[in-house]
Amino acid sequence: MTDTDTKKWYVVRAVSGQENKIKNYIESEIERHGLADFVEDVLVPTEKVIQIRKGKKINKERVFFPGYIMVKANLSGEVPHVIRSITNVIGFLGETKGGEPVPLRAAEVNRMLGKVDELAVQTENVSIPFTLSETIKVIDGPFNGFNGTIEKINEEKRKLEVMVKIFGRKTPLELSYMQVEKI
């Protein structure tokens, strides 16, 4: 086992809001200095957030720990110096003035990475908030304000087939989950 094999996770403190840009800088600087063998992974922990803007659902990635970038590396030789010298990098978390960067403990790494995995899984398994023959209210689109009954639920497309009474006649509508609400 050589020195380049013993890699530990470290946390690099960076200017908040610039995490992904700094991650790319770190990767390209490490590559440019020919130190790729010493750095295995550079990670910005993010979580998926669903926002609704103007009635549209927008998936965004939000940085989970603003101002922190995780680096799995063997910090020997030039590696810490190269990382520290990158614009907007403040330094390593846990290091004392002039001291060595402190690696994360295994439990901390598992918790941080586990949280990232957990969040990735969580957003995929959003349960269907509606049931068949439930009465709902349309809150978006041309039929805004109408009430209807759910006839079909399409999980993959996240759409509902809703029967709405318009001028005394039942009319089927296909609406997304975001266009209706429970009464």
| Residue 35 in domain | yes
| Residue 130 in domain | no
124 pLDDT more than 50: no
Average pLDDT over residues 109-130: 60
The whole-number pLDDT of residue 98 equals 63
Total-model pTM: 0.56
Q: Which tokens hold the place of 73?
A: 């590396």
| Residue 129 in domain | no
Q: How confident is the model at residue 178 (pLDDT cuts 50, 70, 90)?
A: confident
The whole-number pLDDT of residue 101 equals 83
149 pLDDT more than 60: yes
- Whether 18 and 86 map to the same domain: the answer is yes
The whole-number pLDDT of residue 118 equals 53
- Whether 98 and 177 map to the same domain: the answer is no
According to the per-residue pLDDT averaged within each range, which of 74-83, 87-96, 118-127 is highest?
74-83
Report the alpha-carbon distance of residue 46 to residue 108 in Å, rounded. 16
The whole-number pLDDT of residue 5 equals 61
- Whether 69 and 88 map to the same domain: the answer is yes
Average pLDDT over residues 101-120: 71
Single residue among 104, 124, 144 that ends a domain in this structure: 124
Report the alpha-carbon distance of residue 69 to residue 63 in Å, rounded. 10
150 pLDDT more than 90: yes
Average pLDDT over residues 66-81: 90
pLDDT tens-digit series, residues 28-53: 999 999 999 999 999 988 877 777 67
Q: Which of helix, strand or coil describes residue 147?
A: strand
Q: What are residue 91's DSSP bridge partners? A: 13
Single residue among 80, 95, 124 that ends a domain in this structure: 124
| Residue 112 in domain | yes
Instruction: Please tell me the total count of domains within the chain.
Output: 2
Q: Which residue has the higher pLDDT, 123 or 156?
A: 156
CB of 109 closer than 8 Å to CB of 52: no
73 pLDDT more than 80: yes
> Where in the sequence is the domain holding 24, given as residue range(s)?
3-124
Single residue among 124, 156, 172 that ends a domain in this structure: 124
What contacts 11, CB < 8 A, 6 or more positions away? 68, 69, 70, 71, 92, 93, 94, 104
